[in-house]
Amino acid sequence: MKINDILTINDSLNKKIWPGPHGERIDPRVSESLIDVAQDFFDGLKLEGIVIEDITFTGSLANYNYTKFSDIDLHLIVDFSKIDENYDLVRNFFSAKTSSWNTKHLITIFGYEIEIYVQDLNEDHHSTGVFSIANDEWITQPDRIEPEIDEKMTRRKIKSFIDMIERVQDKFADQNYEKANDEAGKLIKKIKKFRQSGLEEAGEHSYENLTFKYLRNYDHIKTLFDIRDYSYDKMKSVEGDYKKKFKIFIQNDEILEEEGFHRLNEIEKFQKRVRAKHNRLKRLNIGLGKQKPGPAYPKRPNYKRSKSSPPGFGGV
């Protein structure tokens, strides 16, 4: 677990994007491309009479803490109140539109992916680097500061969330789709709230935000979204007597959940998690089995765990 992969304080801004000696100006090619992307996205929403108040570039690539995992955070500033008085309704509308766009498109600039976000004109933004592309000027110019990082707490929280995500994976693997869907959705909200609280209290270098970045960079959050979506599809699919089968899984879970600590039950649960973790790691290490068979690899890889050695094997 390398915290340095999610937090690097560079000596200068990214010179490909900010070519000036002090990063005072953005590369015109980058600026033009981002304006085109933002305008195309917004025009596709068909919001008559609504205009973009500003287009800003923010996040780690507008700061000194960019890494190879960084995205270009492209924010479209819009006055939500001009669309509808119900803020949550407008927020949900834009969240759905940006989520769909960010999923469908993979537009990169110098290898960095563009991610669109629609921000309310009156929304607080917790970032030390904000550049107005529309006005070609810094709103908040970044400072290179060596932050104090609570690395111990960050590692602890990362492990805790990964454990929770793996437990949701196990429910999906057991075909307990309703629980997997419910818990994946709740955990996504929990992680989002966790990150937001850190940004509001301590800013970008909070252990909450660093935890989120690690989970995002190493696809743990993507896994949660996949489980949520795939489990929903499974729940809505008609494949045999699904409801009857599902009841069996629910009943088995209820039988296993006994009060108190029962060593044999806990050993069985632990062994089950070990097997599940083995399968996850094997799939990760051999590329999820999506490679096409060829002369060197005529058969698809086997994901099954090999049988344990007999007692006494190897001198034990």
Q: What is the pLDDT of residue 204?
A: 75
The Cα 283–Cα 64 span in angstroms is 35
The larger pLDDT score, comparing residue 262 to residue 40, is at: 40
The Cα 303–Cα 167 span in angstroms is 19
Mean pLDDT over residues 88-113, rounded?
A: 89
Q: What is the pLDDT of residue 239?
A: 63
On the question of pLDDT at 178 being above 80, the answer is yes
What is this structure's pTM? 0.58
| Domain C-terminal end among 253, 277, 297 | 253
| Domain C-terminal end among 115, 140, 165 | 140
Reported as a pLDDT band with limits 50, 70 and 90, residue 289 is very low
* 301 within domain boundaries: no
* 166 within domain boundaries: yes
Structural domain of residue 213, as residue ranges?
Answer: 151-253
On the question of pLDDT at 163 being above 80, the answer is yes
* 95 within domain boundaries: yes
On the question of pLDDT at 4 being above 70, the answer is no
Q: What is the pLDDT of residue 198?
A: 83
* 46 within domain boundaries: yes
Reported as a pLDDT band with limits 50, 70 and 90, residue 154 is confident
Q: Which of 157, 165, 178, 145 is nearest to 249 (CA)?
A: 178
Model pLDDT for residues 103-153, shown as the tens digit of each residue: 788 999 999 999 999 999 988 766 778 999 999 999 998 888 777 777 888
| Domain C-terminal end among 140, 172, 204 | 140
Model pLDDT for residues 202-242, shown as the tens digit of each residue: 777 788 888 988 898 888 998 999 999 999 998 888 764 44
Q: What is the pLDDT of residue 55?
A: 97
The count of domains in the chain is: 2
The Cα 246–Cα 254 span in angstroms is 13
Q: Which of 218, 163, 215, 217 is nearest to 194 (CA)?
A: 215
